[in-house]
Copies of this chain bind each other. A is one copy, B any other.
Amino acid sequence: MLNKIESKRPRKAAARSLSWTQDPEGVQRSILAAARIEFAEKGLSGARIDEIAARVATAKRMIFYYFKDKQGLYIAVLEEAYARIRAIERTLDLAAVPPVEALKILVGFTFDYHADHPDFVRLVMVENIHHARHLKLSAKIADLNLSAMDMVRDLYARGVADGVFRDGVDPVDIHLTISALGFYNVSNRASIQQVFGHDMGQAQARAGRRASVIDTVLRFVSR
């Protein structure tokens, strides 16, 4: 109130510099990593840009410089998360494995990936709360899960041909079941634990559940 004269942006004349090296890619990567943690933890509206900036050594300004705005950053995080799971998925080579064994591997992998990447699961939850609005905005993500769907379709067809799987099952149902059983343990871990003590994060509970899930899917498609 008192010395409010000369109001035209006094500024502190940033005298303190102490040198820094330019590293655009590195900065972007750090921002993305910090943002993934923050968005997965607090959701889109709950996440704080200041918090992300604080987590990285970099200044808040850079976030907007590279990602335009909060939504842009969020979409980038989402795209990276989906690209990552797909990259690993590609390394699964099930074509050479007999159907039953291949299905066990696929279910086990899906279960493990979810359990090992709760951030991914939470991001998908957040995105679903937003009715997948941002997924729709991103052309990059369009055909990602289709590859998982294709794996199931192929594997199931081989199993039917071999006579080890029963006929007439919709591969979509197989895929949904695999996803649901891998997803739910992680997405609802907190309420499951709260409501009846079972902590799915514990190695023992997790291993038991894993075996049970594989069994469930196998029994579903078997004759």
Q: Which residues of A contact B (CB under 8 A)?
A: 42-46, 122, 124-132, 135-136, 141, 144-146, 149, 170, 172-173, 176-177, 179-181, 183-185, 187-196, 198, 208-209, 212-213, 215-216, 219-220
State whether A176 and B192 are in contact (beta carbons under 8 Å apart), knowing that A43-B46, A128-B187 are contacts in the complex.
yes
Closest residue of chain B to A174 (Cβ to Cβ) is: B212
Whether A135 contacts B191 by the Cβ 8 Å rule is yes
* Residue contact A190 to B43, C-beta cutoff 8 Å: no
If A45-B46, A170-B212, A194-B136 touch, does A179 touch B184 (CB 8 Å cutoff)? yes
Measured in the bound complex, the distance between the Cα atoms of B172 and A149 in whole Å is 29
Give the copy number: 2
B170 close to A176 (CB less than 8 A): no
In angstroms, Cα B170 to Cα A127, docked, is 33
Interface centre among A42, A128, A146, A193 (most CB of B within 10 A): A128
Give chain B nearest CB distance to A213 CB in angstroms.
8
Across the interface, A132 reaches (CB within 8 A) one of B45, B146, B193, namely B193
Residue with the greatest number of chain B CB neighbours at <10 A, chosen from A183, A189, A198, A212: A212
Interface centre among A130, A185, A190, by most chain B C-beta atoms within 10 angstroms, is A190
- Counting chain B CB atoms within 10 Å of each CB, the highest count among A45, A127, A189 belongs to A45
Nearest-neighbor residue (CB-CB) of A135 within chain B: B194
Shortest distance from the beta carbon of A173 to any chain B beta carbon, whole Å:
4
A177 touches B187 (CB 8 A): no
CB of B176 within 8 A of CB of A184, answer yes
10 tightest A-B CB contacts, nearest first: A180-B184, A132-B190, A45-B46, A145-B195, A45-B45, A173-B212, A132-B194, A219-B219, A131-B190, A135-B194
With A43-B43, A43-B46, A180-B184 given, name 10 new contacts (CB 8 A): A42-B129, A45-B46, A124-B191, A145-B196, A172-B198, A176-B185, A176-B192, A183-B188, A216-B220, A220-B220
Contact status A196-B149, CB under 8 Å? yes
Bound: A44/B219 CA distance, A: 40
**Chain A to chain B contacts (Cβ below 8 Å), 29 pairs:** A42-B45, A43-B43, A43-B46, A44-B46, A46-B46, A124-B191, A125-B129, A128-B190, A128-B191, A132-B191, A135-B190, A135-B194, A136-B194, A141-B195, A172-B198, A173-B208, A173-B209, A176-B192, A177-B181, A177-B213, A177-B216, A180-B181, A180-B184, A180-B185, A183-B188, A187-B187, A216-B216, A219-B219, A220-B220
